[in-house]
Amino acid sequence: PLRPNNLEAFWMPFTANRQFKQAPRLLVGAKGMYYTDADGREILDGTAGLWCVNAGHAREKIVEAVSSQVAELDYAPAFQMGHPKAFELASRLANMMPSPLDHVFFTNSGSESVDTALKIALAYHRARGKGTKFRLLGRERGYHGVGFGGISVGGISGNRKTFGTLLTGVDHIRHTHDLARNAFSRGEPEYGAEFADDLEKVIALHDASNIAALIVEPVAGSTGVLIPPKGYLKRLREICDKHDILLIFDEVITGFGRLGTPFAVDHFDVIPDMVCTAKGITSGVIPMGAVFASKKIYDAFMDAPENTIELFHGYTYSAHPVACAAALATLDVYAEEGLLTRAAELASYWEDALHGMKGLPHVIDIRNLGLVGAIELEPIAGAPTKRAFSAFLKAFERNLMIRTTGDIIALSPPLIIEKAEIDRIFETLAGVLRDID
């Protein structure tokens, strides 16, 4: 079988990659719900790659759109010119979002979407003559990618500490998960909306006239699928409105059907000022992201007297024709197969199967919403992450791909999953949990 011949040349400086080198697991093919590994085994994809392959792997329509686009128009600059698919995609996306989030800025990843939204937030206030509003707020446990902006507003202190000073003027509000665990709750916890008032406390520290924006993941993904209590996000919206602070949703994971609605804004019925997306926009096939901005933001730039405000921002690959073609085909597949609401149809089956893990060895909490779920394991004393990593290895041995973050198993399958595959995921996991130390 195929084996890597130089494990050092391809460098990803994560602990997870050091673990990879101890036990290389090479993927060489993918179709539908399954990966094929270098030994020819079919591995059930329990995580949609990295939460991105929402339409399933190698969908014919998307493959075809990508290959014909490369042949037709392989590249076009997005500065001073464009190409038709960029406009078509922007308007289709804008139509999917509730008004007034109808202006779309293209990026190439989630991290870029976040940095883009943060820059737009600062420039927006400046365009309105409120340049003192420069401070940014994030949430503890928030993950917003690896750009300087994203790590700074991100709430994982371990990710920040290596870099010393990042962006200054950043504060983090406390995460509801640290204020009340809501253990084993199904879907959204019933209580805890009042934890949004922690935002008022942080605002009071600096005066609202200095604060530009708050960014939150509606459901924190990478830190272990943390579901907000009912009413919590609405309350954040109200507090931001009161203080003229922009609210940004990072929907890089929750976007494109993960929660059973096209976006989390639909599920939670809260409309932020900007929404960051990526991943599912092309179903993971080609890197792409998009920031949705509201009309008031767009107008602030457009109405500013000429040359008073310049947002120097844009990428060589913004609205790349191949990415646009992939995204348009992906949206077709979502629409034709009803995939953006499929998670809602499967949610109660998924929830019951997931909560069936309650009582199995090591399990201390279970959380779910739509087609996303987490099983939190009791950490081994003195060896955090070790137990979850063993679960990951054993699951892979048994032809199931899961993802772990800390001591949490995170699940987010492609939205094309069938009930029989849901059963298989949890039967395999039950065996894995019984068999690890």
d(Cα 109, Cα 86) in Å, to the nearest integer? Answer: 16
Does residue number 223 form part of the binding site for ligand PMP (CB under 6 A)? no
| Whether the Cβ atoms of residue 253 and residue 412 lie closer than 8 Å to each other | yes
- Residues 57, 125, 144, 367: which binds ligand PMP (CB under 6 A)? 144
Does residue number 224 form part of the binding site for ligand PMP (CB under 6 A)? no
d(Cα 254, Cα 127) in Å, to the nearest integer? Answer: 30
DSSP 333-395: HHHHHTTTTHHHHHHHHHHHHHHTTTTSTTEEEEEEETTEEEEEEPPBTTBTTHHHHHHHHHH
CB 132, min distance to ligand PMP, A:
28
d(Cα 21, Cα 368) in Å, to the nearest integer? Answer: 32
d(Cα 126, Cα 301) in Å, to the nearest integer? Answer: 10
Does residue number 286 form part of the binding site for ligand PMP (CB under 6 A)? no
- Residues 145, 257, 262, 413: which binds ligand PMP (CB under 6 A)? 145
d(Cα 48, Cα 412) in Å, to the nearest integer? Answer: 6
Does residue number 222 form part of the binding site for ligand PMP (CB under 6 A)? yes
CB 289, min distance to ligand PMP, A:
7
- Residues 114, 203, 353, 415: which binds ligand PMP (CB under 6 A)? 114
In sequence order, the β-bridge partners of residue 431 are: none
Does residue number 221 form part of the binding site for ligand PMP (CB under 6 A)? yes
Nearer to ligand PMP, 222 or 404 (CB): 222
d(Cα 231, Cα 249) in Å, to the nearest integer? Answer: 15
Of 61-69, 107-115, 200-208, 298-306, the window that binds ligand PMP (rule: CB under 6 A) is 107-115
d(Cα 212, Cα 197) in Å, to the nearest integer? Answer: 18
Q: Per-residue contact track with ligand PMP, 58 to 97, x per CB under 6 A?
A: ----------------------------------------
Q: How far apart are the first and last CA of the chain?
A: 30
In sequence order, the β-bridge partners of residue 214 are: 137, 247
Of 57-65, 103-111, 116-124, 165-173, the window that binds ligand PMP (rule: CB under 6 A) is 103-111
Does residue number 323 form part of the binding site for ligand PMP (CB under 6 A)? no
Does residue number 138 form part of the binding site for ligand PMP (CB under 6 A)? no
Nearer to ligand PMP, 282 or 390 (CB): 282
3-class SS at 121? helix
Please report where in the chains the tokens 């973050």 appear, as a residue. 405
SS (H, E, C) 160-207: HHCCCCCCCCEEEECCHHHHCCCCCCCCCCCCCHHHHHHHHHHHHHHC
- Residues 46, 49, 56, 110: which binds ligand PMP (CB under 6 A)? 110
Does residue number 109 form part of the binding site for ligand PMP (CB under 6 A)? yes
Nearer to ligand PMP, 110 or 155 (CB): 110
Q: Report 226-285 residues binding ligand PMP (CB under 6 A).
A: 250, 252-253, 278
Per CB under 6 A, residues contacting ligand PMP are 109-111, 114, 143-145, 217, 221-222, 250, 252-253, 278
